[in-house]
Chains A and B, each alone.
Chain A
């Protein structure tokens, strides 16, 4: 009974976010087009200077950029969570018979739907610039699964940060921090091309694991000589989000409950 109510409330709250998309199509479209723009800029402006040993830079870049899109989702999520707090929507819902589980799960479901749309837009863009998935449908779907698994983990990071930071202004800090986290990875270039310590940080970045794993699953060129982390990219792409979720999901729940203290 209670579970049925929680599921229904989750759907209602996720539906609210979908209504936001319909009410504000331009801001949603801009959010989706931003990674497309980045892909085209990196692909065509800088791409000429990039030499991927095993193939075309664009084919290396598209999977990296799709993984990067999962990270960009964090910004919008933190802004949404802090805006709800600032506008008093969080308080209204807390004064209603809605469980914490439904509130947090509703956000998560909506964010994953957003991620599905984001992945679709990037894949279509990739296909238009000549990128292809070369290993067939099942590995490609597995790649999408790994992307959503990463985004699921980021959802808890974003919800926790949003509840912690409270104001939309402080969400700017997250927008700034997303960049170094995104670039210190295998998304755009191989960590092997970076100075030693930087390369090491980038190699172990959770984003690198997912980017490298989906390159493998899409059958796109890697940047060989990558070492243990690259050899076990799929395992790491499964493990890293599990670790992030194990840390940040309880933190997010605790932070939500702390609103009442």
Chain B
């Protein structure tokens, strides 16, 4: 019998809480006192240069990696003490979780539905609903290996939503997609947020964060160095520039200012690198 999946708490109550999280990989620090709070029903964008610890943070929050220190609670459950309860309440999409490309789209959804402990009949019904919702019905019986990048990412997203989890982690959900496919994925994410899902998003595309995120946490060298709404963050960098530049700073500028990185780490280089790995 599957766990009763709890509904998200009232809006604004923290659904993701990380306090003082540290993680070393073979002696190299990846996270150093990482703190983050995300309220119910909001979208938090986690931004930072390559190697800042974004992916490590998502892997810890989604139970894939054990933290060395600190406390992490997701949807009311402790990720170290009760990872199984957390896993019933989260979805994970992105670089690290993917689908079986030998199977068809529908076979994937039924397979993962069953692994979430739905009955076969329920898993099938849910698969058909999700195929419909993500515009994949026509491709339902084709092997995923033949899907376009956008279709594959939509299936990936659908697979993570089998149980309608209250919390969704999106690790660079649109990396490698063309602008149209990206807009499709953005549309799906917006409609999820509309239905109350809490989303933590990492991205290399600052425009994506600007478009989707209510709040942004900027991470550098393994910790959050700034947190706020996009406008708040822009205001932090803003004042002494507004006079000389007749526009608000872009998030790119916020990014570079707050992470103190030289121009060599500008966004274009980051995007190309992200296409290969991160």
Contact = CB atoms under 8 A, between A and B. Distances in A.
Interface in B100-117: 100-104, 107, 111-112, 114-117
B143 A23 contact: yes
A92 B66 contact: no
Nearest to A98: B115
A95 B107 CA distance: 19
Contact of A260 (B64, B87, B98, B102): B64
Contacts of A87: 98-101
A5 B96 CA distance: 25
Given A23-B103, A96-B87, A97-B117, A88 B95 contact: yes
B159 interface: yes
B97 interface: yes
A59 interface: no
Nearest to A20: B102
B65 A261 contact: yes
B103 A19 contact: yes
Interface in B64-84: 64-66, 84
A3 B3 CA distance: 15
Nearest to B114: A12
Nearest to A86: B98
A176 B1 CA distance: 45
Contacts of B2: 97
A1 interface: yes
B66 A261 contact: yes
A89 B100 contact: yes
Interface in A90-125: 91-98
Given A95-B64, A96-B116, A260-B65, A12 B111 contact: yes
Contacts of A216: none
B98 A88 contact: yes
B98 A92 contact: yes
A91 B114 contact: no
B63 interface: yes
B66 A5 contact: no
A94 B64 contact: yes
B62 interface: yes
A16 interface: yes
Contacts of B66: 260-261
Nearest to A11: B114
B60 to A, nearest CB: 10
B79 to A, nearest CB: 11
| Most chain B CB inside 10 Å of its own CB: which residue of A88, A93, A259, A261 | A88
B219 interface: no
A129 B41 CA distance: 69
A114 to B, nearest CB: 15
| Most chain A CB inside 10 Å of its own CB: which residue of B87, B90, B143 | B87
A89 B90 CA distance: 16
Interface of B: 1-3, 62-66, 84, 87-88, 90, 92, 95-104, 107, 111-112, 114-117, 143, 159
Interface of A: 1, 5, 8-9, 12-13, 16, 19-20, 23-24, 87-89, 91-98, 259-261
11 contacts: A8-B117, A12-B114, A19-B102, A19-B111, A20-B103, A23-B103, A87-B101, A95-B63, A96-B116, A97-B3, A260-B63
